[in-house]
Structure 1
Amino acid sequence: IVEKNNFIIYLKNNYAAIKKKYKKTIAYSISKAAKQHFIYAKDDDIKKAVALYKLYNQKNMPHVKDTDYTNFKKLLLQLQKNNNVLVRKVENEKQELMSIALIIKDNKRYYNILNTTTEEGRKTEANYFLYNNILQELCNQNMLFDFEGSDLPGVKKFYEKFGAINQPYFYWHYNLLPKPLQWLKK
C-alpha cells in the first residue's frame, strides 16, 4: 500500500476567501499572466482538449493507445450531454490557445481530468491565469475542486500554490504473476 497525493480546494467560500489561501509565491505568476491580456473562455470542444493533451503527453505515456483516447472521448461526450463536463481555456490576443483544462463534475466535486499548456503558455504563466479564473468561476458552491493527485514535484508544487489541501489516497497493487515471474515486474 502506497500513499499518493490528491489536492483539493473547498469552493464554498467566495473568491476573496479562496484567493487568501494562495501561497505568496503565486502572486508573481498571476501578475505576469495578467499583463499578457489573456482571454479566459468557456469551450465545448472536448476533442480539441483531448487532442492537445495527447500531442503533448503521448511520448510520456506510450501505454495509452489511440483506442483508449477514442473511448475516453466517447465517455466525455456522453457526460457532456448531461452537463457534467467543463472545458476552459486561455487564449492570447491573437486567439492562439495557451492553456486548456477539461473538468468533469458530479454532485460533490469538480475533477481536474486533463490540463495542457503550450510552450508559449508556459513562458507566460497561462496555466496560473487559467486556474485562477476557474476557481473564481466555480467559487460559492458547496463543492470541492479536485486537482487530482500528482506525485510529480512540479505539479504538486503548482497545486499547493493555490492553497490546495492534500487529501491523500492509498494505492494498493497486488502482483498475480507466478512467484518466479513476480520479481521481473518490480
Structure 2
Amino acid sequence: MIQYIKRKNLDVLKYDTCIENSIQSRIYAFSWYLDLVADNWDVLVLNDYQAVMPLPWKRKFGLKYITQPFFCQQLGIFSLHTIFKEMQERFLNKIPKKFLKISINMNSNNFSSAKMIEKKNYILSLDASHDTIFKSFSKGRKHAVKVGERNQLEIKEVSLELLIEIKKDNYNYMPSPIYYFSILRNLSKYMIDNNIGYVLGVFKDDILLGGVFLLKQKNRITYLFSSFTQFGKKLKGPTFIINKILEKNANTNLIFDFEGSNIKGIASFFKSFGAKKENYYQINLTKYFSQ
C-alpha cells in the first residue's frame, strides 16, 4: 500500500534508512537535505518504508505545486528492492490531485516513458589509476591541464562566500539570486560542519581565480557549485581543479558526479574528461493528468 505522509508525520529514521540503503541512493533525498533546500516536502511511502518518493512543493496564490528545489538534481523513487515500471506508475498515480502543477526529476535508476523529458548528467568512475583516467581525457582537456600546471596554479580551502562573490561579479544570469544563495549558504554550513562537503579554491600567486563546492556521500562526489573569474577560466582553473580532485580520488570505488548539463557547452566540457552520459527524466504531471 502506498500512503501520502506529511513531513511532520514522517518516521525520519525509517525514511533516511530507506534512502541510505536504497538501490537509487542520492544525497538529495535525505530528510536533512530536503529540509535545507525545499520550502515544503511530503512523501509517498510504500508499506513500512520499503520504497519512498519525496514530493517537494511550494504554494503560490494559495495554490500548491510540486517543483524541483535548487541544488537537487535527482529525486524520484528510492527502494530497498528492485521495483518495476508498474510500481512506478502506482507511485505517480498516488500523487494527490491538490498539486495543480507538477514538475519533478526522477533519478537515473527510475524508468522513462513517452511522457517524460530526457535530461543529461555526466559521471566518471574513479576505479582506475589517474594515468588511466587521464588517458580518457580529450586532447583539448589534456592541453588545458598542462596550461594550468605551467601557470603553477595552487589549490587551497576557501570560504564559500568568496565563490559567491565571484559568481555575482562574473555571471550574467542567476535564478532568484537572493533565494538561491541563501539555500547554498545553508547547505555549505551544514555540509562542512558534518564533514560531508568542502570548498576548494584555485589560486595564482595568491589571487583567487575561482573554485568549487563538493559533496561526498557514500561512493559519490558531487560537483554541486562552481564559479570562476574570466582570468581564472583563461588560465584553465576549472580543468586544473577537477583534474586534481580526480587524481586525489583515483583507485577508489568513488564516482565523480558532474551534475549535468543539458547546456551543450557545459555538457561538452564534462564529457571531455571521459565522463559517461547518465540519463534521468523529468515528469510534467500537468500534461500527464490531462492525457
Q: Indicate whether the TM-score tops 0.5.
A: yes
Structure 1 letter corresponding to 2:285: Y
SS in 2 for 1:113: strand
**Greater per-residue helix proportion:** 1
CA distance in structure 2 between the partners assigned to 1:75 and 1:38 by the alignment: 28
RMSD over aligned CA atoms reads 1.9
Question: Which of 149, 163, 167 is the aligned partner of 1:34?
Answer: 149
Structure 1 letter corresponding to 2:268: K
Deviations for 1:36-58, whole angstroms, at most 9, x for unmatched residues?
Answer: 111122x152222333334433x
* Alpha-carbon offset, residue 25 of structure 1: 2.4
Higher relative contact order (CA 8 A, sep 6+): 1
* Alpha-carbon offset, residue 86 of structure 1: 1.8
Show the 5 A alignment for 1:1-186: 1-41=116-156, 43-57=157-171, 59-61=172-174, 63-93=175-205, 95-175=206-286
Runs of 4+ in 1 over 4 A off after TM superposition: none
Asked if the contact 1:8–1:164 (Cα under 8 Å) also holds between the matched residues in 2, the reply is yes
CA distance in structure 2 between the partners assigned to 1:80 and 1:54 by the alignment: 22
SS in 1 for 2:222: strand
TM-score (normalizing by structure 1)? 0.84
TM-score (normalizing by structure 2)? 0.55
Asked if the contact 1:50–1:114 (Cα under 8 Å) also holds between the matched residues in 2, the reply is no
SS in 2 for 1:150: coil
CA distance in structure 2 between the partners assigned to 1:44 and 1:91 by the alignment: 10
Where structure 1 has 5 or more consecutive residues not aligned to the other structure, the ranges are: 180-186
Asked if the contact 1:88–1:134 (Cα under 8 Å) also holds between the matched residues in 2, the reply is no
Deviations for 1:69-122, whole angstroms, at most 9, x for unmatched residues?
Answer: 2233122211111111121221102x1111301111111211101111111012
SS in 2 for 1:104: strand
Task: Give the number of aligned pairs.
Answer: 173
SS in 2 for 1:148: coil
Where structure 2 has 5 or more consecutive residues not aligned to the other structure, the ranges are: 1-115
* Residue 184 (structure 1) aligns with: none
The percentage of aligned residue pairs carrying the same residue is: 23
Asked if the contact 1:46–1:77 (Cα under 8 Å) also holds between the matched residues in 2, the reply is no
**Greater per-residue strand proportion:** 2
Higher radius of gyration, 1 or 2: 2
